[in-house]
Structure 1
Amino acid sequence: MTEFATRIRRTELAATFAMAARARALRAEGKDVISLSLGEPDFPTPTHVVDAAYAAAQRGETKYPPLGGIEPLRAAVAAKFTREHGVPVSPQEVLITNGGKQGIFNMVMSLIGTGDEVIIPAPAWAGYEQTVKFAGGVPVFVPCPQEQGFVLQPEALAKAITGRTKLLLLNYPSNPSGATISRDALAALADVLRQYPHVWVLSDDIYEHLLFGGAQHHTLLGVAPDLQDRVITLSGVSKTYAMTGWRIGWCIAPAEMIKAATVVQATATSGVSSIGQAASLAALTGPQDFLAERVAAYEQRRNTVVAALNQVPGVACHKPDGAFYVFPNIAGCLDKTTPHGRLIRSDNDFAMALLEDGLVGVVQGSAFALSPHIRISTATALPRLQEACQRIAAFCQTLT
């Protein structure tokens, strides 16, 4: 048997992929599964973005790109951040990456060594834990329960920091909860961080433009520019512009950190698709009017799903202000039995039974380090979401 490297043995694939694979297998058996497990916009990439990619290819922009990204795109990202948050950023402080996920990987691999601790507010996207473990670090989860709006509290942050803490990961709007954070709440976290100058922060803002009900996006660097020498801000085009397959993200960080992360990227993948960068430049600098219509659709879906789930016995669903997820608590469904005799002991049991018996694919809260919850992606057409909610209600009503 092959003896793989330790980093492989300590890292597992995300549960979202496993649930999606099981849903595909059931579909292959001819079953009408509604899969709400993957966080991917169902809208098409805007036409002008596709046209820009085609035009770039026609111009011959198909050669190896610069390691850090093409200058026009780096400049556009820097200008965007300065415009939206009032903090000057130069193109030299921007790294274009193969999706947001590689941005996280680059930064974690640049900062984290064996035994270094990384604070992760929970619930949290599973990729954070995977990447930290891959780098040899130690994930330190800080529970942020539903009654706190899934938001990290300053006293909990202070308690979690030790001499081995190297990095704090923030993600608002959040995957999986959709939670947002207020300017005052971020300022309170900044007050704590000022006491610990050895702690870096990575702010994952990938859902920054998907906000509802007048909610506003705040990022740590915009609230506390004095921490700029140890703050990394990450975003990309995947969620806002429905460009998940284009694989374009970026990181904004001090120039020395960008240089270090570029070394990681050069070693792993080299530069990012030249055509994808041309498309992303068009996304950032082209028409933005379509975004309001898409956000309104996401908000309608959120409202429909939250209202429906809160009518289901045993389910309590927080109403999020951002992203395209809901993260209902299903504690009232535990320690019950399905008509087939399956005992629901955990949110993992619930998710699997719901998929196999109710034909709705969701992801268990344990995959995001906070139970008992399930994550439901609302990036699906409204009629299918309504049908999924009906199936969830019917499934829960069969539990005894």
Structure 2
Amino acid sequence: MHAPREVSAPTAPAPWQRTALGANLLSPGGGLGVTIFEEMTTLAVQTGAINLGQGFPDEDGPLEIREAARAAIAAGANQYAPGKGIPELREAVAAHQQRFYGLAPDPATEVVITTGATEAIAAALLAFAGPGDEVLTLEPFYDSYGAVIGLSGATHKTAPLLAPDFMPDMAALEAAFSPRTKIVLLNNPHNPTGAVFPREVLQRIVELARTHNSIIVTDEVYEHLTFGVSHVPVASLPGAADRTITISSAGKTFSLTGWKIGWLTGPEELVAAARTVKQFLTYSSGTPFQSAIALGLGLPDSFYEGIAASLQQKRDILSEGLRAAGFDVFSPQGTYFVNVDTAPLGITDSVDLARRLPALVGVAAIPVPVFCHEEGAQRTRSLLRFAFCKKDGVLHEAAARLASLSGRL
């Protein structure tokens, strides 16, 4: 008689593989790829192209904030900050929410300082979502969302944003909710599309979250970068405050992305849960930067109005070149990204064009399909995203280079 043959159970994906798969970094064969940002940056360096792919400014933030950080270092603020952030910055965040939105989080129990918004998102998702749960995002989605959802073991559900205005398909959004929807993760203003969702859309999402007893995690890092429309925090809407964690950061508002100072606010019990996870990710960070950002949050209204006006001008400079190139341009209402459709040029594969663009005209961009699952990637297969958070001279040069594209194809 033959001995029984042992059959190995299928190997479950390791946490790192779930993370990579969620961020579209894992090939069907299990190979690990690089992020599209790394790939496009490498191509830009190799070709000498202007890098309009990754969204970071090429100018530093306000001098008074940078000087405040230097002063804090000189004064000895170089050791661990409290795990939930220095009191000065937590109070400044609470005052900012009151000043701009009429919200009044308690700085002692309802505000936590994080290592950028990315850590805040990770802490919130890992605090509440796990195997058997679903996390719902709009699509396209920022790549770290998929990565952390994958790490958590939860299932990532999506609802599409539709060109040209990139508003949600409301029927699809409603259908994407289920009894397993643990978290609705929103990004507003939205990266990569530049959409700013109106009050009625956000209110409907709140109603759906309440119906399904879902937590709302809202990433509002571009809150002050809107053009002709007002940002509406989800937490300010009826029925939202008791289930919403609001996330923002200093990086986008103050053009200090390398400082990695973010925050989350919300009801005490939700914030406490996220803080429990956060303290075992970094514990604390950026001690001398925290007091400097507290100063920045108190800058006058003219500063906040000025950054939006400046970015709107930059948007228009780049958009002119993109139209001259022959693209359909979807003018954003917020963020510092503009999306285009390559189809008018007879090109339906934006990933391929993104890889050729640095050598063709000396400009690098990011293909939108990389921010999507398979079906969404098909829907957005001809879309490209360009960042316009650059000096005016750089944008004028990029616009001139792009205008020559149709003749080079």
Q: Same fold by TM (over 0.5)?
A: yes
Q: 1:341: which partner in 2?
A: none
> CA offsets per residue over residues 138-188 of structure 1, 9 Å max, x none?
2222111113x1122433221101122111121121111111111222223
Aligned counterpart for 2:344 among listed residues 332, 336, 341: 332
Structure 2: gaps of 5 or more residues: 1-10, 26-33, 373-379
Aligned counterpart for 1:263 among listed residues 247, 272, 276: 276
Describe the shift of the 1:334–1:7 C-alpha distance in structure 2 as closer, same or farther (beyond 3 A).
farther
Match for 1:364: what amino acid?
P
Q: CA deviation at 1:294?
A: 3.0
Indicate conservation of the 8 Å contact 1:351/1:362, yes or no. Answer: yes
Say whether residues 1:121 and 2:133 are aligned partners. Answer: no
Say whether residues 1:366 and 2:361 are aligned partners. Answer: no
Q: CA deviation at 1:266?
A: 1.8
Q: Distance in 2 between matches of 1:63 and 1:384?
A: 39
Q: 2:161: which partner in 1?
A: 144
Say whether residues 1:253 and 2:266 are aligned partners. Answer: yes
Say whether residues 1:34 and 2:50 are aligned partners. Answer: yes
Q: 2:334: which partner in 1?
A: 322
Worse overlay, 98-107 or 248-257: 248-257
Q: 2:121: which partner in 1?
A: 104
Q: Distance in 1 between matches of 2:330 and 2:381?
A: 14
Aligned counterpart for 1:277 among listed residues 265, 281, 290: 290
Aligned counterpart for 1:382 among listed residues 378, 383, 392: 392
Q: How many residues align?
A: 378
Q: Percent identity?
A: 30
Q: 2:72: which partner in 1?
A: 56
Say whether residues 1:240 and 2:250 are aligned partners. Answer: no
Say whether residues 1:391 and 2:405 are aligned partners. Answer: no
Q: CA deviation at 1:128?
A: 1.1
Q: 2:241: which partner in 1?
A: 228
Q: 1:203: which partner in 2?
A: 218
> CA offsets per residue over residues 344-369 of structure 1, 9 Å max, x none?
x6211010011232221100111222
Say whether residues 1:159 and 2:171 are aligned partners. Answer: no
Indicate conservation of the 8 Å contact 1:96/1:251, yes or no. Answer: yes
Q: Distance in 1 between matches of 2:117 and 2:194?
A: 18
Q: Distance in 1 between matches of 2:111 and 2:98?
A: 12
Q: What SS does the corresponding residue of 2:149 show, helix, strand or coil?
A: helix
Structure 2 length normalisation: TM-score? 0.87
Worse overlay, 201-210 or 124-133: 124-133
Q: What SS does the corresponding residue of 2:330 show, helix, strand or coil?
A: coil
Q: 1:352: which partner in 2?
A: 355
Describe the shift of the 1:209–1:150 C-alpha distance in structure 2 as closer, same or farther (beyond 3 A).
same
Indicate conservation of the 8 Å contact 2:115/2:260, yes or no. Answer: yes
Describe the shift of the 1:353–1:50 C-alpha distance in structure 2 as closer, same or farther (beyond 3 A).
same
Match for 1:362: what amino acid?
A
Q: Distance in 2 between matches of 1:110 and 1:246?
A: 24
Say whether residues 1:188 and 2:216 are aligned partners. Answer: no
Match for 1:253: what amino acid?
G
Q: Distance in 1 between matches of 2:120 and 2:293?
A: 16
Q: What SS does the corresponding residue of 2:192 show, helix, strand or coil?
A: coil
Indicate conservation of the 8 Å contact 1:123/1:150, yes or no. Answer: no
Indicate conservation of the 8 Å contact 1:117/1:165, yes or no. Answer: yes
Q: Distance in 1 between matches of 2:366 and 2:274?
A: 31
Worse overlay, 291-300 or 377-386: 291-300
Match for 1:7: what amino acid?
P
Q: What SS does the corresponding residue of 2:386 show, helix, strand or coil?
A: strand
Describe the shift of the 1:181–1:52 C-alpha distance in structure 2 as closer, same or farther (beyond 3 A).
same
Describe the shift of the 1:79–1:153 C-alpha distance in structure 2 as closer, same or farther (beyond 3 A).
farther
Indicate conservation of the 8 Å contact 1:36/1:361, yes or no. Answer: yes
Say whether residues 1:303 and 2:316 are aligned partners. Answer: yes
Match for 1:384: what amino acid?
V
Q: 2:83: which partner in 1?
A: 67
| Equivalence map 1:288-299=2 (5 Å) | 289-299=302-312
Indicate conservation of the 8 Å contact 1:154/1:192, yes or no. Answer: no
Match for 1:60: what amino acid?
G
Q: 1:215: which partner in 2?
A: 229
Q: 1:342: which partner in 2?
A: none
Structure 1: gaps of 5 or more residues: 336-344
Q: CA deviation at 1:208?
A: 0.5
Q: CA deviation at 1:257?
A: 2.1
Q: Distance in 2 between matches of 1:151 and 1:235?
A: 22
Match for 2:110: what amino acid?
E
Match for 1:9: what amino acid?
Q
Q: CA deviation at 1:5?
A: 7.1
Q: Distance in 1 between matches of 2:403 and 2:12?
A: 44
Match for 2:101: what amino acid?
H
Q: Distance in 2 between matches of 1:357 and 1:145?
A: 29
Indicate the RMSD between aligned Cα atoms, in angstroms: 2.0
Q: Distance in 2 between matches of 1:325 and 1:63?
A: 36
Q: 1:338: which partner in 2?
A: none
Say whether residues 1:89 and 2:105 are aligned partners. Answer: yes
